[in-house]
Structure 1
């Protein structure tokens, strides 16, 4: 009985890892976003990806990952042994940072500002959606001890939502994001360059995020 239970838990863990990997690839490719992943039951804060896998998914060199970590741009969680583990949110930030750097030439200070504005925007959308969300169907999850628990979700939880229609006055506008990019370009023109671009990022101790105690099982209802 105990052996069968361990086998079942191992199978569930492998399934969850595969699904998180697929979700991360979809986010990087632009076929999904964090709002959609969160809505269908993924824990976007769950530290699932090693440094090597995170670099592969986001097409970011390990040295760049360490730089982002040191500057507080993308700070992964740590295992008890000190190993870095990245979440879906981290993968999304890495992919966006890489796009802004490689395709648009934004420096690190500008990237940090843009990512901050986008995160504020996303959090406000989530708050509005929580207020609008009706009581819905259920999804099942495996807790840390292998037990099955039931949690509530929206009836629309199976749909990837690209955008949520909310009052634009409540959200940072596109102009705000564009202004941050223009400011970053102006910073470069003033001679900030690589040597000065890191000054716009607050240097502080990484804030460890709470590690989730559950793994969501896809497609069970």
Structure 2
């Protein structure tokens, strides 16, 4: 507040200032000079749509995109004495903005990769494998990923829920089937498939 103790309009005389609004990282200050009557408002960041401070959204995006835990990161900033958003605000930003942005960026990147593959000669060369959310045969979710070997890019990811199948052992085969079906719908010819030694996958191939 010492930065607002001097009026910038009338020969640097003393003025009164006060905080009129705070919202997360946002702060708005009113400065009034008793000598010349000059009044001005200062804020530390621009306001976006829906009266949302820009840095509040940028902070939520930085936490989400870096993979940090929101509760621990915000608690650390609070211990440092920084103004920051709440955990509920972070999850609201995540639901409304950062997750849709990630999905859109992924879809744009996937469309570009598929377009590049259609322009290349020969069939595609893909390597696939499955990853479970827990070890053993008690996984609830499995994600199956296909990587195109020539461009070294992930061309498809399928999330499989084990409750839709007899057990979690079937998730890898189901993920592969969905990925191959997706590539066929994109008019891509499969020339080489690289997998691990999964017995169900070998039998299906």
Q: Kindly indicate which of the two structures has a greater share of residues assigned to strand.
A: 2
Structure (1 or 2) with the larger CA radius of gyration: 2
Could you say which structure has the greater relative contact order, defined with CA pairs below 8 angstroms and 6 or more residues apart? 1
